[in-house]
Structure 1
Amino acid sequence: MGFSSRFWGVLLSGFGVAAPAFSQQTAPVSALTRQYTPAQLRHDLEVLHQTVKAGHLGARTYHSPAYLDSCAAAVQAQLTQPLTEREFRALLRPYVAALGCGHTAVQASEASQAAAKRATPFVLPLQLAPVAGRLVVVATPGLRPGLLQPGDEVLALNQRPAPEVLQGMLRQVPSDGLNQTHALNAVRRNTYAYYANAFGLPEEHVLQVRAANGTERTLRLTAADVDTAQANQQARAARQPAPGRLLQRHGSNSLRLLPQDSSVAVLDLNTLSGSQKSFYKAAFRALQQRPVRALVLDLRDNGGGQAFGGNALLRYLLPAPFQFVFETGPEQRKVRRQLAMGFWERATPGLMSTNPLQTWQRGRHQFVFRFRPSRQLHYNGPVYVLTNGGTFSMASYVAAYLKHRAGATVVGEETGGGEAGSNAMLSGRLRLPETGQLVHFPVYRVVHQIPAGPDTGRGVLPTVPVTYSAADLVQGHDRDLATVLELIAARAAK
């Protein structure tokens, strides 16, 4: 469930960072520069649209069929001249985003992915944060020193004003429901990827910039100004954990005691997987052996992981038995036959059918898994959950259950994943017949068992919202954690 490790490998070639598939390259590659006729593009669009209407779980969740028809018509109206794969994907992604499903993504064809591995694109070496409608430079990964400073504001990029650039990038990001924080977070963390997805990569970038002192200037960037390897390395880097005494670690996940208050523990999770069960056990044993008065669960920028990894974590934190429920219907079973899947992906529905807890609700086939809290290592103290727009998929599921079933205090930003559920668990790949592009197509929906009322299309809303200024982002202030420490102190003072 959620974005797997292949996410980074497909964002620029279809939805990732590691292998950019753009039409502008230092050396022409046929698969990347090949153009398709309007008739071919319309055929691919029709196949995608009809398959979506036939059995995509998001086709009627947040919008009417008429709305999706209008989105498809808007794409078709733009298919008046030959386009490359990248150019066509830039038009398809807003249609896919209209489904309100962050697990549905358009990926380059296998031929383009292979060609992209041999290409050496000139990337945009900026991380731009949308702040109150402005684009503020937060970091300049790989850029030659002295050209731009964190805190500078980009007024225009390649003759497009900043609002147009921002909206173009946001339209490339699929999100759950009506959520906006996920797209904003994605643009900030991977600006050059989403800029390339929306507008391609020219041989140079021309920026209009306003410095912190108010002066404005025009800056021209070329490949000579950028270390692409360094830019990619920084883009892949995981968020750094909070400082403090390390108690347990598993990959990029850790348990620490805060240096300013050793009675506060931070369980920092960048991902959720079934292989973390022993880490959870060791972490909660360590908590039990210490006078910890509060636990901070940091789920910021956690894109999800495996379903049973998240449920394994919740066993140590939820006070009562709980259920994990996902569902599908006859429409999805029919569409599944049209999707490309590996052996285990094909076998998974059959394996799921052996689960003894199954039911039918509202014409949907539901699969139910039950979990009980851990008896020996359960944590019973106050829990604070840090979230932002990068908290997605299974991480949003965990946040929703802790907020509604354990009374945890959620601090930060609305999660990028849906509060009520998400389309996940299993995906196939719809291959478009003309361009060969792949659309990741989920065929199950996880239904969160929480008392939150009807699905409004929102993520998990924070109990205590935190807003970041441009200065906070540039200087790396952790206002979320600072807010939690204030809440803990206020609780102790009562």
Structure 2
Amino acid sequence: MIFLFYPLIFLKNIFITNHSIHFMKLSLGSLLFLFLFSACSRHFDPKKTYSIEQIKSDYALMRSALEEAHPGLYRYTPADSIKLIFDQIEKQLNQPMTEREFRRVVNPALSYVRCGHTDIYASKAAGKYAKKNKPKEFPLSLYWSQNKLRVLQNRTNDTTLKMGTEIVSLEGRAAADVVADLQLLIPSDGYNMTYKNVVINNSFGPFYRYLTGSVDTFRVVAKDTNGLSRALRLTFNNPPAKAKKVAPAPTNTPPKAAPVPLPPAPPKRSKSELRRNLTFSKKDSSLAILDINTFRDPTYTRFYRRTFRTLQQRGTKNLVIDLRNNGGGRSDASVKLMSYLLDSAFVVYRQVEATVANPSFNKHLSLKFIRSGMYRLHLWNKPTPTGGLLNRATGKVQKLARKYRYNGNVFVLTNGGSFSASAIFTSIVQAHGRAQVVGRETGGGRYGCNAFISPMLTLPHTQAQVRMPMFKIVLNVPGQDIGRGVVPNYPVEIPFEAAQKAQDLDMEKVYELVKSTVNGPQSTIRNP
């Protein structure tokens, strides 16, 4: 199975593994390892500094690994520009640094690679420490749109700071400049900005702390909706404490009358239902909504079969596939979904190729699959004349689903959070004229990305983790790669006012499109 996934960078101070967890009998050696690892995380010191020699050594390993094996290092940035940027970053490693400071300096170098699957994360020990010692929380939810940074939610004690207030500056720096610095910390495919902005709108606080370091207060200049500006000093909030159950104090008062019984609570949705769900519109009975939050669910085959059987039984004419904020997952899950929608056998990948078959730094990689050399077996890949590997997905003709293929109108909802496997799905179905895309440009590239296998490179001194995609992916779609995501057939912008009201303008656009074609031929939607 191949994973194409969201880089999971919303919390830069927490490392989150993307591998399945397997439970096994613990040998004495395993228990000793766990004890030592736990002790290491307990004694992790976020203020520990590493010498100039140590951080330069880590940086040299990261740089040489990228130059040796990254399949798309020069895909969007010329080699001479990459060299210049890497040299400039190295010059900034001129004093001892903590792990976080080191990552903060190095991050922009990876951003200029313009690959959303290439990023640097905290060490495992730092991640475990951060989970147990949660930092103070940023007191505002901020929304960046139309070149303005505005308050979406206020968690301070200042009730005069209303929703919609514009934050003009933070610590004396213009809001636009702060956002530009945050964008430089967030890697993205090509020249795409929608992914960066989705991350900022979801996680401004954690990224601002990552940018500025540990501070308790910060100064802002706020402009209210009447145009009046004022300076404020805001305080980071303590993380919410876990509520403790307290037994009620005994009383001598007589018992109260029996309460009126409440209606039964709705049944809890399973984890699988939270990952993907099929519902039918109450507003338009001809329309079904397939909400897929991730392609990582291993039970997708059965779910797809049940979904499309239901659509066929009900004679559903219009299907919305909601991939907003779907960060990707299994490539086979997205390809299987295509097989229910396309009209003929199809090819997804024009090229899936690794630069090197046996990286010189593989002892620092996280996946035993790569360290052991198993992935070089001809079962998955075949060698190229240049010493690389060509994955057998290259040029593979995919078959259509045998039953329950859907022939109605298809709308795909996307935004900047539609990444990796979800962007690949959107690109292919749009290129085949089989779906209309509604929303914002996908965060993942229209023409491909770098992924398929993406182990972590552990830097030996700081133990920081660098994600290293091993394969360059070129999709079988027309046109030249211009470093953009999938551009919607029907673009929909979300102004602050709509975000404030949680107004779903994408679905409103779909209803408008369905209504405009009720009396027309079906092909007016399928083949624009």
TM range (shorter): 0.7 to 0.9
Distance 1:14 1:41 in 2: 19
Secondary structure in structure 2 of the residue aligned to 1:156: strand
Following superposition, the deviation at residue 217 of structure 1 comes to 2.4
Secondary structure in structure 2 of the residue aligned to 1:154: strand
Distance 1:312 1:159 in 2: 51
- Counterpart amino acid of residue 399 in structure 1: T
Following superposition, the deviation at residue 157 of structure 1 comes to 1.7
Distance 1:314 1:163 in 2: 40
CA, structure 1 residues 300+287, in 2 after alignment: closer, same or farther (shift >3 Å)?
A: same
Distance 2:64 2:275 in 1: 41
Q: Which residue of 313, 321, 346 maps to 2:345?
A: 321
Secondary structure in structure 1 of the residue aligned to 2:61: helix
Aligned position for 2:76: 62
Aligned position for 1:47: 61
Q: Deviations over 1:159-201 (max 9, x none)?
A: 3220121011111111111111111111111111221222223
Following superposition, the deviation at residue 66 of structure 1 comes to 1.1
Distance 2:311 2:332 in 1: 22
Q: Deviations over 1:331-372 (max 9, x none)?
A: 2532562442233455685386315x9685997623224421
**Number of equivalenced pairs:** 462
Secondary structure in structure 2 of the residue aligned to 1:190: helix
CA, structure 1 residues 324+260, in 2 after alignment: closer, same or farther (shift >3 Å)?
A: same
Secondary structure in structure 2 of the residue aligned to 1:262: coil
Q: Is 1:118–2:98 an aligned residue pair?
A: no
Counterpart mapping for 1:123-142 below 5 A: 123-140=137-154
Secondary structure in structure 1 of the residue aligned to 2:180: helix
Aligned position for 1:97: 111
Q: Is 1:178–2:191 an aligned residue pair?
A: yes
Following superposition, the deviation at residue 229 of structure 1 comes to 6.4
Q: Is the 8 A contact 1:55 1:335 kept in 2?
A: no
Q: Is the 8 A contact 1:125 1:226 kept in 2?
A: no
Q: Is 1:269–2:282 an aligned residue pair?
A: no
Aligned position for 1:202: 215
TM (normalized to structure 1)?
0.86
Following superposition, the deviation at residue 94 of structure 1 comes to 1.0
Distance 2:410 2:105 in 1: 43
CA, structure 1 residues 349+418, in 2 after alignment: closer, same or farther (shift >3 Å)?
A: farther
Aligned position for 1:476: 502
Aligned position for 1:11: 12
Aligned position for 1:306: 330
CA, structure 1 residues 160+170, in 2 after alignment: closer, same or farther (shift >3 Å)?
A: same
Q: Is the 8 A contact 1:143 1:227 kept in 2?
A: no
Q: Is the 8 A contact 1:336 1:443 kept in 2?
A: no
- Counterpart amino acid of residue 316 in structure 2: V
Q: Is the 8 A contact 2:120 2:466 kept in 1?
A: yes
Q: Is 1:79–2:79 an aligned residue pair?
A: no
Following superposition, the deviation at residue 131 of structure 1 comes to 1.3
Counterpart mapping for 1:260-409 below 5 A: 260-273=283-296, 274-325=298-349, 327-331=352-356, 333-335=358-360, 337-344=362-369, 346=371, 349-350=374-375, 353-355=378-380, 365-368=390-393, 369-409=396-436
- Counterpart amino acid of residue 144 in structure 2: P
Secondary structure in structure 2 of the residue aligned to 1:221: strand
Q: Is the 8 A contact 1:270 1:300 kept in 2?
A: yes
Distance 1:280 1:324 in 2: 19
TM (normalized to structure 2)?
0.81
Q: Is the 8 A contact 1:249 1:279 kept in 2?
A: no
Mark the runs of 5 or more structure 1 residues left unpaired by the alignment. Answer: 17-27, 231-245
Secondary structure in structure 2 of the residue aligned to 1:51: helix
CA, structure 1 residues 349+63, in 2 after alignment: closer, same or farther (shift >3 Å)?
A: farther
CA, structure 1 residues 335+461, in 2 after alignment: closer, same or farther (shift >3 Å)?
A: farther
> Could you tell which deviates more after superposition, 378-387 or 322-331?
322-331
Secondary structure in structure 1 of the residue aligned to 2:517: helix
Q: RMSD value over aligned CA atoms?
A: 2.8
- Counterpart amino acid of residue 261 in structure 1: D
CA, structure 1 residues 193+345, in 2 after alignment: closer, same or farther (shift >3 Å)?
A: farther
Q: Is the 8 A contact 2:11 2:206 kept in 1?
A: no
Aligned position for 1:444: 471
Distance 1:69 1:139 in 2: 42
Following superposition, the deviation at residue 422 of structure 1 comes to 1.2
Q: Which residue of 441, 455, 468 maps to 1:414?
A: 441
> Could you tell which deviates more after superposition, 390-399 or 475-484?
475-484
CA, structure 1 residues 157+56, in 2 after alignment: closer, same or farther (shift >3 Å)?
A: same
Distance 2:382 2:77 in 1: 29
Distance 1:389 1:200 in 2: 27
Aligned position for 1:217: 230
> Could you tell which deviates more after superposition, 79-88 or 466-475?
79-88
Aligned position for 1:252: 275
> Could you tell which deviates more after superposition, 38-47 or 151-160?
38-47
Q: Is the 8 A contact 1:424 1:443 kept in 2?
A: yes
Following superposition, the deviation at residue 406 of structure 1 comes to 3.8
- Counterpart amino acid of residue 458 in structure 1: R
- Counterpart amino acid of residue 97 in structure 2: L
Secondary structure in structure 2 of the residue aligned to 1:386: strand
Aligned position for 2:249: none
Larger Rg: 2
CA, structure 1 residues 445+114, in 2 after alignment: closer, same or farther (shift >3 Å)?
A: same
Distance 1:190 1:330 in 2: 34
CA, structure 1 residues 347+372, in 2 after alignment: closer, same or farther (shift >3 Å)?
A: farther
> Could you tell which deviates more after superposition, 273-282 or 411-420?
273-282
Aligned position for 2:523: none
Following superposition, the deviation at residue 8 of structure 1 comes to 7.0
Secondary structure in structure 2 of the residue aligned to 1:472: helix
Mark the runs of 5 or more structure 2 residues left unpaired by the alignment. Answer: 18-41, 243-268, 521-528
Distance 1:54 1:249 in 2: 40
Q: Is the 8 A contact 1:359 1:367 kept in 2?
A: no
Q: Is the 8 A contact 1:123 1:228 kept in 2?
A: no
Secondary structure in structure 2 of the residue aligned to 1:7: coil
Q: Could you tell me the percent identity over the aligned residues?
A: 29
Q: Is the 8 A contact 2:167 2:175 kept in 1?
A: yes
Following superposition, the deviation at residue 269 of structure 1 comes to 0.7
Q: Is the 8 A contact 1:319 1:406 kept in 2?
A: no
Aligned position for 2:122: 108
Q: Deviations over 1:438-457 (max 9, x none)?
A: 1011112332122x222111
Secondary structure in structure 1 of the residue aligned to 2:84: helix
Following superposition, the deviation at residue 384 of structure 1 comes to 0.8
